Amino acid sequence: MAAELAVADGLVVVACCKEKRVTAAPLPALDLYEGWVVPLIRDRVTERSGLRARVLVLSALYGLLTADAPVSTYEQPMTEERARVLAGRAPSVLRRHLARFPSSEVLLLMEAPYAEVLGTVPVTRTRLITDPMDRHSDIHSVLDSWSWP
């Protein structure tokens, strides 16, 4: 069996979280969130704009965002109504992002209601981790296999 090739073109989509920096001015989405596994992802791509472009954040308020999209502190849980609204927009945002940054693998770090918002992800391989707080080693393993720092 041949060794699996590194995926330098992977994409991470991480869900937002309640823990956010409190700020008067907008921050890049990946820098706003302080909880969940966002800090783990942020630490892996810090100061690497090429990799930051391969990270999306799914916000219950703003929808699917690039890592550097400016956002302000907010409070919006993912309700069924918000999920329905976002499900009407997020898949097309994801497709446009994939057209700009083609990826063969996507790592989704989110609970099921967030993943449902994205619908079917149009890539060769999608990995969904719904309990990322308990699976840091699995996340690192995927990112390591992609040769991410």
Domain that holds residue 137: 11-145
Indicate the number of domains in the chain.
1
Q: What is the pTM of this model?
A: 0.91
- For 104, the token pair is 């063969």
Q: Please give the mean pLDDT across all residues of the chain.
A: 90
Residue 125 forms part of a structural domain: yes
Residue 82 forms part of a structural domain: yes
Residue 4 forms part of a structural domain: no
Task: State yes or no: pLDDT of 82 exceeds 60.
Answer: yes
Residue 141 forms part of a structural domain: yes
Phi then psi dihedrals of residue 14, to 5 deg? -115, 140
Q: Of all residues in the chain, what percent carry a pLDDT higher than 90?
A: 79
By residue count, the chain amounts to 149
pLDDT digits (tens, 9 = 90+) for 18-60: 999 998 899 999 999 998 899 999 999 986 668 999 999 999 9
Q: What is the pLDDT of residue 19?
A: 92
Residue 3 forms part of a structural domain: no
pLDDT digits (tens, 9 = 90+) for 61-70: 999 999 999 9
Q: Which amino acid is at 142?
A: V
